[in-house]
Every structure is written in structure tokens, then in C-alpha cells.
Amino acid sequence: MAETDARRRGEIIRAVFKFLQNSDGPVSVLDVTKHVENMVTLTEFEKSFYPDANGRKTVRRFDKLIRFHTITAVKAGWLTKNKGYWSVTTEGIQAYNTILDPEDFARELDRIYRDWNKSRHSAGDDS
């Protein structure tokens, strides 16, 4: 995913947080995706589709990227995903309001994710 750098990941994740913190409760991933794509201008790469084994265009990249980019936020405890519904946590709102630069936001999530992954492997956890 070299086409998406830390700044862009941060812009997308921060847009997710902005939308969710103004919602009344958990929101379906489909609604999150729809709203966030209207909050950020999609790149040509994000607008493109992943091909299947036969070369047919199947899934828009942005739809996959938004799910993939937010994994770090889940591991950080800033975002919850439960049965297709997402919500931002109190810690996530605090981080959103504290770390304003999108690139710094993404890099902090990356750091927390690396720490989580390192502790998971050192503890012998395979989940």
C-alpha cells in the first residue's frame, strides 16, 4: 500500500473519528465509508478497484483501505468495531483532540500498534 502514506492514512482515520464522535452511537461501516468519502477527496488510487483472479474489477480500494487503516485504532483502543458497527472511544476522542496533525496521528497509531504486536509475540499470543 505504498500509494497511501502516513499523512493520507491520518487524514482518513481522523475523518472517521470526526464523523463518529458526532454520531449518537455505533454506526455501520457502510455509513462510515459513505460519509468519510464525502469528507475527503478520494485519490485516483482510492477510486480504483481491486481486480479478482479473472481481472474483473470487484471491490473499490477505498472501501478496503478504510477498514485496513483503522485496524491500528482498534488495537490502540481508540475505536471499536463490533458486528459491522464502529464507534470511537473516549480515549480516541481525546487523541483526536490532542494530536491534530494527520501524519502525527497515524504515526502514533503505528507506534501503539507496533508495541501491541511486540508484546503479543513476546507473550506467545497467536491471536
Distance CA(125)–CA(70), nearest Å, equals 21
pLDDT tens for the chain, residues 1 to 127? 457 899 999 999 999 999 999 999 999 999 999 999 999 999 999 999 988 888 787 889 999 999 999 999 999 999 999 999 999 999 999 999 999 999 999 999 999 999 988 887 776 655 5
Q: Output the pLDDT for position 120.
A: 78
Q: Output the pLDDT for position 1.
A: 46
Q: Which of 76, 40, 48 is nearest to 64 (CA)?
A: 48
Contacts for 84 with CB less than 8 Å, ≥ 6 apart: 28, 29, 30
- Indicate the residue type of 105: F
Q: Which of 98, 33, 95 is nearest to 64 (CA)?
A: 33
Are the CB atoms for 96 and 88 separated by under 8 Å? yes
Q: Output the pLDDT for position 127.
A: 53
79 phi and psi angles, rounded to 5 deg: -145, 140
Per the document, the length of the chain is 127
Q: Output the pLDDT for position 117.
A: 84
Q: Output the pLDDT for position 122.
A: 75
